[in-house]
A and B are shown apart, each in its own frame.
Chain A
Amino acid sequence: MVKILQIEGISLQFGGVKALNDVSFHIEEGEIFSLIGPNGAGKTSMLNCISGLYHPSQGSIKYKDEEITKMKAYSRTNLGIARAFQNIALFEHMSVLDNLMLGRHTLMKSGPFSGGFYFGKAEKEEVDNREHVEQVIEFLDLQEIRHTPVERLAYGQQKRVEVGRALALSPELILLDEPMAGMNKVEKERMAQLILKMKDNGITVVLIEHDLGVVMRLSDHIAVLDFGKQIGFGTPNEVQENPEVIKAYIGENVS
Chain B
Amino acid sequence: MKSILGKNLGNYRTSYRADMALLNSRNKKIGMVILLLVIFLLPMFASNYFIGLMTLCIISSIGAIGLNILTGFTGQISIGVGAFLGVGGYASAILTTSMGYSFWIALPLAGIITAIIGGLFGIPSLRLKGLYLAIATLAAQFVILFIIRRWVSLTNGTSGMVLQRPTIGDFALSSNTSYYYLSAIAFLLSAFYAINLVRSRTGRAFFAVRDRDMAAQIMGINLFKYKVMAFAISSFFIGIAGSLLAHYTMIVSPEFYEINVSIQYLAMILIGGLGSVFGSILGAFFITLLPVVLNIIVGSLSGILTDLSHILSAFEEFVFGAVIILFLIFEPGGLAHMWSNTVNYFKKWPFSY
Contacts and interface: CB of A to CB of B under 8 A. Distances in A.
Interface of A: 51-53, 72-74, 77-78, 80, 82-83, 85, 89-94, 98, 101-112, 115-118, 122-123, 125-127, 130-132, 134-136, 138-139, 165, 167, 169-172, 198, 201-203
A138 B8 CA distance: 12
A105 B223 CA distance: 13
Contacts of A78: 220
A115 B1 contact: no
Taking chain A's interface residues, is the majority helix, strand, or loop, or is none over half, making it mixed?
helix
B41 interface: no
A131 B205 contact: no
Contact of B9 (A53, A89, A122, A135): A135
A108 B201 contact: yes
In the A-B complex, the 5 residue pairs with the smallest Cβ-Cβ separation, listed nearest first, are A115-B200, A77-B220, A106-B220, A89-B215, A118-B196
B217 A52 contact: yes
Given A52-B217, A77-B219, A115-B196, 5 more contacts: A72-B217, A78-B220, A126-B200, A139-B4, A169-B219
B48 interface: no
7 contacts: A74-B223, A93-B211, A105-B220, A110-B201, A135-B3, A201-B3, A201-B6
By size class, the interface of chain B is 35 or more
A8 to B, nearest CB: 23
A134 B4 contact: no
Nearest to A129: B201
> DSSP majority for the B interface?
helix
B1 A116 contact: no
Interface in B168-224: 192-194, 196-197, 199-205, 207-208, 211-212, 214-223
B26 interface: no
Nearest to B189: A117
A74 B201 contact: no
Contacts of B16: 127, 130-131, 134
Given A102-B205, A106-B220, A201-B4, A91 B13 contact: no
Nearest to A114: B200
Contacts of B9: 134-135, 138
A75 B273 CA distance: 34
B353 to A, nearest CB: 22
B222 A72 contact: yes
- The listed residue with most A CB atoms (<10 A of its CB), out of B16, B201, B207, B212, is B201
Given A115-B201, A123-B17, A131-B12, A73 B217 contact: yes
Given A112-B229, A117-B193, A91 B2 contact: no
Contacts of A115: 196-197, 200-203
Nearest to B9: A135
Nearest to B236: A112
Most buried by B among A77, A105, A123, A136: A105
Given A74-B217, A105-B219, A134-B16, A92 B211 contact: yes
B305 interface: no
